[in-house]
Structure 1
Amino acid sequence: MRRIRVLVVDDHRVFAESLAAAMGTEPDVEVVATTGSASAALRCLDRAQVEGRGVDVVLVDADLGVRAPGGPGARMTWPDGAADGVSLVAQALGGHPGVRLVILADRDDPQRAAAALQAGARGWVAKDSSLSRLLAVVRGVLRDETHLPPALLTGVLGELSTARRSRTESERLVESLTPRELEVLRCLVAGLGRKSVAERLFLSPHTVRTHTQNVLGKLGVHSTLAAVAVARRAGVEPAD
């Protein structure tokens, strides 16, 4: 019988180790490791993949890294840029698309749960859920199920509906751009400055400035940062 390989990611060591020990008593579950940071989790996923024993499911704390040593309210951002468990979802799936990620949360939060699902998470589960519930979720996501607490469904669906409307409007605005304006926008999404855009597209800085102003006008925004936000909602990829 092939065992389900689970990675627990939580910076509360006692909780992580207790959960790992409890899950490890199941005959079909193998807890690969417990980690206390996003960067350590990503390294663990990479190592498991190299060894040919990839992780199946990652259980990650929604507030990973938020509770910094400075006390209540202090916030820590890990070196890899993942500020919390929701941020880790996209990073993990970027290098390990077959992994299922489930968020473990202290509280219901429709907005963050929706963001997690949009990033690719397969579930949002209360940290105080019973072991049987957590195991059901782990086994369920491997059957491509999505798990949410019933109390969150209405809020999450509302958030996703709002996000879809926003994306549709952003896509409509981006479609109004000319091919050259879209190239300039993709460069902006990639973080390039005006001089770099000019060099990349073999244009003069003045022409890039004109194209940028046209992009801002068509997108209905007043800054390149706002233009990039619209582009990301529309799914515009950064220039290579």
Structure 2
Amino acid sequence: MTRVIVVDDHALVREGLRTLLQLAGIDVVAEGADGEEAIEAIVRHRADAVLLDLRMPHRDGIWVLEQLRERGEEIPVLVLTTFDDDELVLGALRAGARGYLLKDVTLDRLARAVRTLADGGTLISPSLTDRLLRVVRATEPTADVPATTVQPLTERELDVLRLIAEGYSNREIAGLLHLAEGTVKNHSSTILQKTGARDRTQAVLRALRDGALE
């Protein structure tokens, strides 16, 4: 059973997520109401993924992500957002979140997203990124997000990257594109090399910024 930690400053939201995830066969092993409780729960409990709110008192979601990166914790984090602050969401992705979902997401979509991250996947759906994309393009290039990709991606690599952005696993991508799973892994490695990205999330962000996934 997939094991997750739920972090949100609203008790009712945490309770609702716990109930829904249990219905989907996902075990909520711990909860947190702020950033410090989140870090404590992550350290104490062995979980496969974290559902993280961004706006919390004392220590927010960005702080949690930065702490995880400093500590070398590799647990995948899925941001749950109301999408009222695009720059905050973008900051979370740059800080290491594997993806994001709106809080009005359906249970099926949420359960699939949790399992996708637990299996090492990424979830940044282009269909949900219109506002976020404008923020990406309006942001001055930084060392984290260079102005251009190192090399252009081939059509097949773009096909793979689009499915990565939608949250599909390597095995699922292989089935959809009629490729061997090893071939998909090779394409994924090449995408990271060409974009100069450290992980799949950053590769999707850069492709979104450059308009490659539109």
CA distance in 1, matches of 2:128, 2:11: 28
Give the Å deviation of 1:154: 4.1
Give the Å deviation of 1:22: 1.5
In the alignment, which residue of structure 2 is the partner of 1:40?
Answer: 37
**Residue 24 of structure 2: which of 26, 43, 47 is its match?**
26
| Structure 1 pair 15–164 and aligned structure 2 pair: CA distance change class (3 A) | same
Question: CA contact under 8 A between 2:6 and 2:30: conserved in structure 1?
Answer: yes
The code of the aligned residue for 2:30 comes to A
The gaps in structure 2 that reach 5 residues or longer are 147-214
CA distance in 2, matches of 1:108, 1:149: 17
The TM-score, its normalising length taken from structure 1, stands at 0.53
Cα deviation, 1:154-200, whole Å, max 9, x if unaligned, reads 44345445657233899xxxxxxxxxxxxxxxxxxxxxxxxxxxxxx
Give the Å deviation of 1:88: 1.5
Question: CA contact under 8 A between 1:108 and 1:152: conserved in structure 2?
Answer: no
| Structure 1 pair 123–168 and aligned structure 2 pair: CA distance change class (3 A) | closer
CA distance in 2, matches of 1:159, 1:103: 17
**Residue 68 of structure 2: which of 68, 92, 101 is its match?**
92
In the alignment, which residue of structure 1 is the partner of 2:90?
Answer: 114
The code of the aligned residue for 2:142 comes to S
Quick check: which has more Rg, 1 or 2?
Answer: 1
Give the Å deviation of 1:153: 2.5
Aligned length: 146
Question: CA contact under 8 A between 1:122 and 1:147: conserved in structure 2?
Answer: yes
In the alignment, which residue of structure 2 is the partner of 1:140?
Answer: 116
In the alignment, which residue of structure 2 is the partner of 1:64?
Answer: 56
In the alignment, which residue of structure 1 is the partner of 2:191?
Answer: none
In the alignment, which residue of structure 2 is the partner of 1:229?
Answer: none
Percent of aligned pairs sharing the same letter: 29
Give the Å deviation of 1:135: 0.7
CA distance in 2, matches of 1:57, 1:113: 18
The code of the aligned residue for 2:29 comes to V
Give the Å deviation of 1:138: 0.7
In the alignment, which residue of structure 1 is the partner of 2:141?
Answer: 165
Give the Å deviation of 1:146: 2.3
The code of the aligned residue for 1:106 comes to T
Q: Return 8-17 or 134-143, whichever deviates more.
A: 134-143
| 1:1-240 correspondence to structure 2 within 5 Å | 3-27=1-25, 29-48=26-45, 54-65=46-57, 78=58, 82=59, 84-95=60-71, 97-160=73-136, 165-167=141-143
The gaps in structure 1 that reach 5 residues or longer are 49-53, 66-77, 171-240
Give the Å deviation of 1:148: 3.0
- CA RMSD, Structure 1 to Structure 2 (Å): 2.6
CA distance in 2, matches of 1:169, 1:5: 32
Q: Return 152-161 or 88-97, whichever deviates more.
A: 152-161
Cα deviation, 1:57-80, whole Å, max 9, x if unaligned, reads 110112122xxxxxxxxxxxx2xx
